[in-house]
Each structure stands twice: as C-alpha cells, then as structure tokens.
C-alpha cells in the first residue's frame, strides 16, 4: 500500500533530489532507475552528518512540492494512517503498553487530517534510503509519496537513530526539532503553523507529530506539543524537551 505511488512520485520529483526514473511500466510496477555510484548508503556516515544531509534533502523535497502543481493527484497521509490504525487495533492482544498505543492512535488520527500547509512527503526518508552518487552527492531512493504534514518526514529519520534515541532522547529531539524549523523557514512557508489542538482525557492540549511505527519492537512515540501540556497519565511515561520548534515529549513504555 505504501509504495503504490512510487513511480508517480519519482516522475514528480524528476531527480531533484531523488534518483532519476529512466523508464517505467506503471501496470507492472517495474522501473529502470539511474545507477548510483559508488552507491553506498548514508547510513555508513556518522549520524551527525546524516542529520544535516537528511535536512538538506527534505528542504528540496518540500520546496518542490510547494512550487509545482500536481500533488492533489497523490493520496493523503490520512489514508495510510488509517490502514495502520486498523492493523494496530487488530493486534490489541500484543500491545506492550495499552495506554501508549491508545494515546498514539488518538493523536495520529487527529494530526493526519488535511491542512493548508500539507506538502508531498517521502514518508520513508532515512539514512538507508539515501545513496552516494556522482550526479549529486546524495540521492533519495524508495520514496513512498503521500500528501501530509511536513514534520512527519523528520520523525522517520529520528526513528532510525535508535541507539541515539535511547542514549540521549532529549538531545536528539532538540537537534531534529531545530533542523525541522530551519527547513520550514528556509522553504519560505511562513511562520510555523500550530497543528490542530487535541484535548486528551485530562483536558491538556498538544500538537505536532507522532511516530507509531515499530511499536512492537521499540514502543516509542514523539509528540511536539504546546507548553500547556501538564502531564501524561499512567502507564505512559514521558520526557520533555523544549526547543525553538516547540515543546517535545517522548512517550515511551519500559
């Protein structure tokens, strides 16, 4: 389901900053792609460098989707989130932390709704999907395009920095939050908008983006939220981090 529009997405970005699509059979889903040489993954570089490369690539991906027409032809991220929601609900007996999962499902459903600032997202942009190339230093491969909230793309990279996330969650969230703000402002999107407020059972308000993928292996969710957030009910634990991008709270189960 995620990769159904990959060919369409590669045509849209047209090698900027993705790998070039040379030829494709849409019916069979077959693609002839530009060869990347030497072709090693960004994952082989230090994670501090990965952060900067991912940020630079995201800036180009988002800027292109705001300057060109045609993103209306792509599916909205809410469709993908709904599929994941139904899959997760069907596996309730395996939830490692029911409170965390229910809260994540509630927030993801609210934040996944269409918004005026939506852009075309790669949705799976991490250091394993960026290759060293001759045409450009780094090119994006395997995009899974959906229209949605741009900060969603930043969280995908965060989830793939698992060791750093466990070792220094506060520092990692702060760094990626600031990079996200830099990308946003440099794309001339205007002031960073506040996502729709989401009241929870305690009446607190939160906003931002949450990552639900891989909860069985590493139950973790990231939320950018307003300072008014007053706490998280048990059994969910939390870690707060302030940055210029807003406040971030990592929700996790032990």
Classified as helix, coil or strand, 33 is: strand
- Report the candidate in 145, 141, 118, 161 with the shortest Cα–Cα distance to residue 57: 141
Residue pLDDT, tens place only, 212-253: 333 333 333 444 333 333 333 333 333 433 333 333 444 443
Residue pLDDT, tens place only, 199-208: 443 333 333 4
C-alpha span between 174 and 170 (Å, rounded): 6
Q: Provide the strand spans (E) within 21-153.
A: 21-25, 30-33, 119-121, 130-132, 138-140, 146-148
Write down the catalytic residue from 5, 51, 118, 124.
124
Which of 41-45, 85-89, 145-149 ranks highest by mean pLDDT? Answer: 41-45
Question: Quick one: pLDDT band at residue 96, thresholds 50, 70, 90?
Answer: confident
Whether 124 is catalytic is: yes
Percent of the chain at pLDDT above 90?
36
- Report the candidate in 97, 107, 100, 115 with the shortest Cα–Cα distance to residue 210: 107
């Amino acid at each position: 389901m995620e990769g159904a529009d990959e060919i369409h997405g590669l045509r849209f970005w047209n090698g900027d900053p993705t790998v070039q699509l040379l030829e494709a059979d849409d019916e069979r889903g077959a693609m002839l792609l530009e060869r990347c040489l030497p072709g090693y993954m960004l994952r082989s570089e230090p994670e501090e460098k990965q952060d900067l490369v991912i940020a630079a690539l995201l800036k180009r991906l988002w800027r292109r989707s705001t300057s060109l027409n045609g993103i209306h032809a792509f599916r909205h991220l809410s469709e993908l989130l709904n599929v994941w929601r139904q899959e997760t609900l069907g596996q309730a007996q395996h939830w490692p932390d029911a409170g965390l999962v229910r809260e994540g499902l509630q927030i993801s459903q609210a934040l996944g709704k269409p918004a005026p600032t939506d852009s075309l997202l790669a949705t799976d942009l991490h250091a394993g999907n960026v290759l060293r190339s001759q045409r450009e230093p780094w090119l994006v491969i395997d995009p899974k395009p959906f229209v949605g909230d741009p900060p969603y793309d930043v969280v995908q990279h965060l989830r793939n920095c698992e060791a750093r996330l466990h070792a220094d969650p506060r520092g990692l969230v702060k760094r990626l939050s600031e990079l996200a703000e830099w990308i946003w402002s440099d794309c001339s999107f205007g002031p960073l908008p506040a996502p729709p407020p989401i009241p929870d059972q305690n009446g607190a308000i939160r906003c931002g983006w949450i990552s639900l993928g891989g909860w069985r292996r590493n139950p973790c969710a990231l939320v950018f939220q307003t300072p008014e957030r007053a706490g998280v009910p048990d059994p969910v634990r939390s870690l707060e981090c302030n940055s210029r991008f807003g406040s971030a709270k990592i929700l996790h189960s032990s």
